[in-house]
Structure 1
Amino acid sequence: MIKETKQADKAVIDSRPVFAKDNYKLMIAGLVITVVGFLLMTGGYNDDATKFKPEEVYSFQRITLAPIVILLGLAVEVFAIMRKPKQ
Structure 2
Amino acid sequence: MNKNKKPLHKQDLNFVFGKKNYVVMGIGLAVIALGFILMAGGGSDDPNVFNPEIYNFRRIRLAPTLVLIGFAIEVYAILLTPRKK
Same-fold call, TM cutoff 0.5: yes
Letter in 1 for 2:49: K
1:67 corresponds in structure 2 to 64
TM-superposed deviation, 1:39:
0.5
Task: Point out where structure 2 has 5 or more consecutive residues left out of the alignment.
Answer: 6-10
Letter in 2 for 1:24: Y
Other structure's SS at 2:34 match: helix
Is 1:47–2:50 an aligned residue pair? no
* 1:34-86 deviation per Cα after TM superposition (whole angstroms, max 9, x unaligned): 000000100114232210012x1111000000010000100100000000001
TM-superposed deviation, 1:14:
5.7
Who wins on radius of gyration, i.e. which is larger? 1
Structure 1 length as normaliser, TM-score?
Answer: 0.78
Structure 2 length as normaliser, TM-score?
Answer: 0.80
Distance 1:80 1:19 in 2: 9
Task: Answer 1 or 2: higher relative contact order, Cα 8 Å, separation at least 6.
Answer: 1
Aligned residues: 75
Indicate the percent of aligned positions where both proteins have the same amino acid: 48
Where in structure 1 do 4 or more consecutive aligned residues deviate above 4 Å? Answer: none
2:16 corresponds in structure 1 to 18
Task: Point out where structure 1 has 5 or more consecutive residues left out of the alignment.
Answer: 1-9
Distance 1:66 1:39 in 2: 8
Other structure's SS at 2:15 match: coil
Is 1:76–2:73 an aligned residue pair? yes
Distance 2:40 2:56 in 1: 11
